Amino acid sequence: MTIITVEEPKQAGQHVLEILKEQQDEGKLNGFGLATGSTMIPVYETLVNSDISFEEVTAFNLDEYVGLDDSNKNSYAFFMQEHLFSKKKFKRTFIPNGVAENLEEECATYERRLSEFPLDVQLLGIGENGHIAFNEPGTSFDSVTHVETLTDSTLGVNSAFFGNDEPIPATALTMGISSILAAKKIILIALGERKRFALERLLAGTVTVDYPVTALLGHADVTVITDIKGLNK
C-alpha cells in the first residue's frame, strides 16, 4: 500500500491524473471505476481541465440510490453528468439503474458487464463508518453488486447533500466488495478530518467486516491519497 499525503484537495486530483496517465501510457486504462461525492469533485475538475482522453475507456460507477433516475439532481447519474461525463467523452459509461423494474436483475446484469469490461483502475472514497461504495459494516467481502440497506450513520452524513428537501433513499445499488477488489489498481481518496477514524482502521492492519475498507488490505495495488496529518499507522 502506497500512502500519498497532500496539502489540499486539488493536489489529490493532480496525483490521480498522474497515475491515470501512467496507466494509459502502459495500455492499462481500458476499464475505469468511478466514485461520487464531494471528495471526487476536485479530482474530476482536474481531469476535465487536463488533456487526458477517455475516448477508449469504459467507465463503471460504484453505486446509485434506489428510486432516483438520472434527471434527479440528487442521483449519482446526475452528479457524474454534471462533473465529468458532459465534459469528457468516454467510450461507454455504466451506472446502476436505481429505477430498474427488477433490482436484483439489474445487479446481476451490472456484475456481468463488469466481467465483460474488467476494471484496470478503481477510484474509491471512504465513509466515516469505514464503508466503501455503499458496502456497509458487516457486508461480506465476497459480495458482488447488490441492493444495500443504508445505515443510520450513512443516511445522516449523506442527507446533508440532498437538496430540495427530498428525503434520502434508505437503499442503494452498489458494487460489492469482491467486485471492487477485482480492479487491478485501487486509488482510495480520504480528505478531511471526518475520515480520520475510518482511515486509521485501514492503517491499523486488521481485516474485519466491521470496517469494509479493511478489505483493501488483501489487494496487491492500493494507493491512498489523503490530507489527514499525523495518522496512526
Q: Which residues participate in catalysis according to the annotation? A: 63, 129, 131, 136
Residue 162, amino acid? F
Reduced DSSP (H G I as helix, E B as strand, rest coil) percent helix, strand, coil of the chain, to 5:
35, 20, 40
Among 11, 8, 139, residue whose Cα is nearest residue 63:
139
What DSSP state is assigned to residue 122?
A: E
Phi/psi for 173 (5° steps) reads -90, 135
Dihedral (Cα; 163, 189, 118, 219), 10-degree rounding: -140
Considering just the CA atoms, what is the radius of gyration of the chain in Å?
16
Q: How far apart are CA 196 and CA 34, in angstroms?
A: 22
In which residue are the cell numbers 428525503 written? Answer: 167
Beta bridge partners of 147: 173
As a whole number of Å, the end-to-end CA separation of the chain is: 12
- Grid coordinates representing 118 are 474488467
- Grid coordinates representing 197 are 477514524
Among 135, 137, 115, residue whose Cα is nearest residue 125:
135
